[in-house]
């Protein structure tokens, strides 16, 4: 039976074999149930694994008006925006 060690912060790492067997993915919520001398872990909420590709198309950039100048990387740099704002009275 796999074992884990409790850290000073009260954290444990669930062994990979157990995570795989019970499909425990990052974000899964576990509940600790005290059963008089034994502690039982119960899955409260499962979180399905996702991939970056699943979010493709969620953010849409507005189209530029015809004939407008292409955007430059400096248009998206926060430091350059602040510098421009400070110059204006």
Interval 22-69: pLDDT, tens: 989 888 999 999 999 999 999 998 887 777 787 777 777 777 788 888
Q: Which domains does the chain have, with CATH numbers?
A: 1-48 (2.10.260)
DSSP string, 41-85: EEEEE------GGGGTTSS-PPPPPTTPPPP-GGGG-HHHHHHHH
pTM: 0.50
Task: Please state, in angstroms and as integers, the Cα–Cα distance from residue 62 to each residue in 56, 65, 76, following that order.
Answer: 16, 9, 15
Interval 58-76: pLDDT, tens: 777 777 788 888 877 777 7
């Amino acid at each position: 039976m796999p074992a884990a060690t409790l850290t000073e912060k009260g954290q444990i790492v669930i062994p990979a074999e157990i995570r795989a067997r019970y499909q425990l993915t990052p974000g899964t919520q576990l509940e600790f149930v005290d059963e008089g001398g034994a502690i039982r872990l119960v899955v409260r909420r499962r979180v399905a694994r996702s991939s970056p590709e699943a979010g493709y198309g969620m953010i849409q950039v507005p189209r530029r008006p015809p004939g407008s100048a292409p955007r430059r990387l400096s248009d998206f740099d926060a430091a350059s925006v602040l510098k421009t704002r400070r110059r204006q009275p």
